[in-house]
């Protein structure tokens, strides 16, 4: 389908665009949107840092001079030490710290967060029984009795409670969508249980640990405890102060389509403009609930060349169901910008924008910024929705062809009265039509939408010939795992970090 008023099928504006009064050829990179690029670690640097933090206590333990122990006991201790360090790291892999998550994007950092949690759970589950393996191999009944004695001993109570907290933490995360609790309630419990797990684990380590009671490992755990406290203080103390010290105001709320609303948010007097790139997102709170516990992520549907920001939000959950009822003047808290769903830094001769449903929000931000900058490159936009009345900003998309070399393809999954355009799904045939005439190796695709759509479209684009690094997408669906080949590759890379920590534990045990 195409923008309103055009014939169905594929529409290409084929316009020459001038920037600063002179003709330009094809650009190789999007111009800067005015925001500064912050110091953010690369994926390789983050992986190396993660392994260093989690294996450092094992290296320090080698200097502790503890009495010799059975290899199984050493392996158990090593798994417990590495798991405890990895548990603490989880507090900074929540997507809230731009230094750690900025280069990866929110989808990838949250995927790592979930996979790392499973590695931690596995290590924690194995930690106690490995201690009794030597006894069990000698006499199974004595091994069972020893395990039961550990569980009943007050000396190991904090370790047992930490074990239980980790199990509950991962279980609640897996069942989040099925639990009869508001998101904010689940999130508060996730934080508190996580703090309890780390706090109890640290007490267990320094009170009964073979290597942690004194010496360099003890001071490492002291630094870990300080780091966790600092992370929580930043998230829920310093950011709370910023939400109130730099308030924003809701200027207007406009229905864009069906249950989708656009919020125009402007800085209050004394609040600086947001320094962001088109396509990034913010964590938003409103009214008296301007506390980080109540914030929710929303993509910026705007260009940094315009004062303030716009958010396109769909009524989907506890918070957003009443989004259209917010009144102008409502105080708004914004934390951001975050994310790497941006054109800056991506070399390309052509830009393809793909949106599904409310995924139009960041895509509209990119399109509006391309229009504001008068970008001369070919731009193609594919927008899929469930029904014709669910397309947002159709008039604005059609008008963008007056500035850009823009081709649009709007596809409704189901037709409706008066709708004469395309129906069905954004399949491979339509994608081939979308990028017809473009060099796949020099084309960047920016896509946002439901997980199933993103996975299917991404894999189809790879099959057509686009390199993986040229297909950039976000889902904001943390509960469901993406099945796209690119995400499976990333998942394997994240799992390899857990395998590396397991190998480090084995090396520790057999040195």
CATH number of the CATH domain containing 358:
3.40.50.80
In a domain, 487, yes or no: no
Torsion region of 418: left, alpha or beta (phi above 0 gives left; psi -120 to 50 gives alpha): left
C-alpha to C-alpha distances, 1 to 387, 423, 438, 493, nearest whole angstrom: 11, 7, 20, 39
Residues 331 and 352 in one domain: no
pLDDT tens digit sequence for 60-113: 998 876 666 788 999 999 999 999 999 999 998 876 777 776 667 777 888 888
Does residue 154 sit in the same domain as residue 69?
yes
Does the reported pTM lie above 0.75? yes
Tell me: pLDDT of 24 over 60.
no
On whether residue 1 sits in a domain, the answer given is: no
C-beta separation of 67 from 4 below 8 A: no
Is 260 found in the same domain as 195?
no
The listed range with the strongest mean pLDDT (324-338, 367-381, 446-460, 469-483) is 367-381
Tell me if 486 is assigned to some domain.
no
Query: How far is 57 from 217, CA to CA, in rounded Å?
Result: 6
**Confidence (pLDDT) at 181:** 83
Residue 216: inside a domain: yes
Task: Answer with the residue of higher pLDDT: 390 or 29.
Answer: 390
Contact indicator for 344, 357 with CB cutoff of 8 Å: no
73 and 209 part of one domain:
yes
17 and 97 share one domain = no
Number of structural domains the chain divides into: 3
Q: What is the mean pLDDT of residues 193-199?
A: 96
CA distance 135 to 76: 14
Instruction: Tell me, yes or no, whether 286 and 368 share the same domain.
Output: no
What is the CATH number for 252? Answer: 2.40.30.10
Percent of the chain with pLDDT over 90: 63
Answer yes or no: do 95 and 218 share one domain: yes
- 103 with 134, same domain? yes
Whether 79 and 210 map to the same domain: the answer is yes
The pLDDT assigned to 319 comes to 81
On whether residue 458 sits in a domain, the answer given is yes
Structural domain containing residue 127: 43-242+495-510
Q: Is residue 36 part of a domain?
A: no
| Res 65: pLDDT | 67
Question: What confidence category does residue 495 fall into, taking pLDDT thresholds of 50, 70 and 90?
Answer: very high
Write down the H helix ranges in 274-425. Answer: 360-373, 394-400
Per-residue pLDDT at 37 exceeds 90: no
What pLDDT, on the 0 to 100 scale, is given for residue 343? 95
Q: Are residues 104 and 227 in the same domain?
A: yes
Contact by Cβ (8 Å): 183, 319: yes
On whether both 441 and 384 belong to a single domain, the answer is yes
**Does residue 284 sit in the same domain as residue 217?**
no
- So what's the pLDDT on residue 39? 61
Q: Could you tell me the two tokens for 51?
A: 């392994």
Q: For residue 170, is pLDDT > 90? A: yes
Q: Which of 338, 372, 390 is the last residue of a domain?
A: 338
Residue ending a domain, choose from 282, 310, 338: 338
């Amino acid at each position: 389908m195409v923008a309103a008023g055009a014939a169905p099928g594929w529409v290409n504006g084929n316009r020459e665009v001038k920037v600063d009064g002179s003709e330009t050829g094809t650009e190789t990179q999007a111009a800067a949107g005015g925001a500064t690029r912050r110091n953010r670690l690369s994926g390789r640097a983050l992986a190396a840092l993660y392994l260093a933090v989690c294996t450092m206590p094992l290296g320090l333990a080698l200097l502790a001079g503890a009495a010799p122990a059975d290899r199984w006991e050493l392996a158990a201790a090593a798994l417990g030490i590495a798991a405890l360090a990895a548990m603490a790291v989880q507090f900074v892999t929540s997507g809230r710290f731009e230094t750690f998550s900025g280069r990866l994007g929110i989808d990838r950092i949250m995927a790592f967060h979930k996979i790392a949690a499973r590695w931690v759970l596995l290590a924690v589950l194995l930690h106690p029984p490995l201690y009794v393996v030597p006894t069990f191999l000698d006499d199974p009944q004595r091994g069972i009795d020893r395990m039961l004695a550990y569980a009943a001993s007050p000396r190991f109570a904090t370790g047992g409670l930490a074990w239980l907290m980790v199990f509950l933490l991962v279980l609640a995360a897996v069942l989040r969508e099925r639990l009869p609790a508001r998101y904010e309630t689940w999130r508060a419990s996730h934080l508190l249980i996580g703090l309890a797990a780390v706090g109890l684990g640290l007490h267990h380590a320094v009170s009964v640990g073979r290597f942690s009671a004194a010496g360099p490992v003890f001071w490492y755990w002291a630094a870990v405890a300080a780091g966790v406290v600092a992370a929580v203080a930043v998230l829920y103390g310093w950011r709370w102060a910023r939400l109130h010290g730099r308030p924003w105001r809701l200027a207007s709320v406009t229905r864009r389509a069906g249950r989708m609303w656009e919020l125009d948010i402007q800085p209050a007097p004394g609040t600086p403009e947001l320094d962001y790139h088109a396509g990034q997102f913010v964590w938003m709170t409103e009214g008296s609930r301007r506390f980080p516990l109540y914030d929710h992520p929303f993509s910026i549907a705007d260009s940094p060349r315009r004062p303030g920001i716009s958010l396109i939000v769909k009524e989907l959950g506890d918070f957003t169901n009443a989004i259209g009822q917010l009144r102008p003047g409502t105080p708004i808290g914004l934390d951001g910008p975050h994310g790497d769903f941006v054109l800056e830094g991506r070399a390309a001769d052509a830009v393809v924008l793909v949106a599904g449903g409310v995924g139009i929000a960041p895509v509209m931000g990119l399109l509006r910024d391309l229009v504001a900058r008068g970008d001369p490159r070919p731009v193609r936009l594919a927008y899929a929705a469930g029904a014709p009345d669910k397309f947002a900003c159709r008039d604005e998309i059609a008008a963008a062809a007056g500035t850009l070399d823009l081709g649009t393809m709007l596809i409704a999954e189901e037709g409706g009265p008066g709708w004469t355009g395309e129906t069905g799904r954004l399949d491979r045939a339509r994608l081939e039509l979308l990028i017809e005439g473009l060099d796949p190796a020099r084309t960047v695709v920016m896509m946002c939408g439901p997980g199933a759509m993103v996975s299917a479209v991404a894999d189809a684009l790879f099959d057509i010939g686009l390199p993986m690094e040229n297909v950039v997408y976000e889902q904001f669906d943390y509960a469901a795992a993406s099945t796209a080949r690119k995400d499976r590759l990333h998942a394997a890379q994240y799992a390899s970090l857990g395998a590396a920590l397991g190998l480090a534990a084995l090396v520790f045990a057999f040195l």
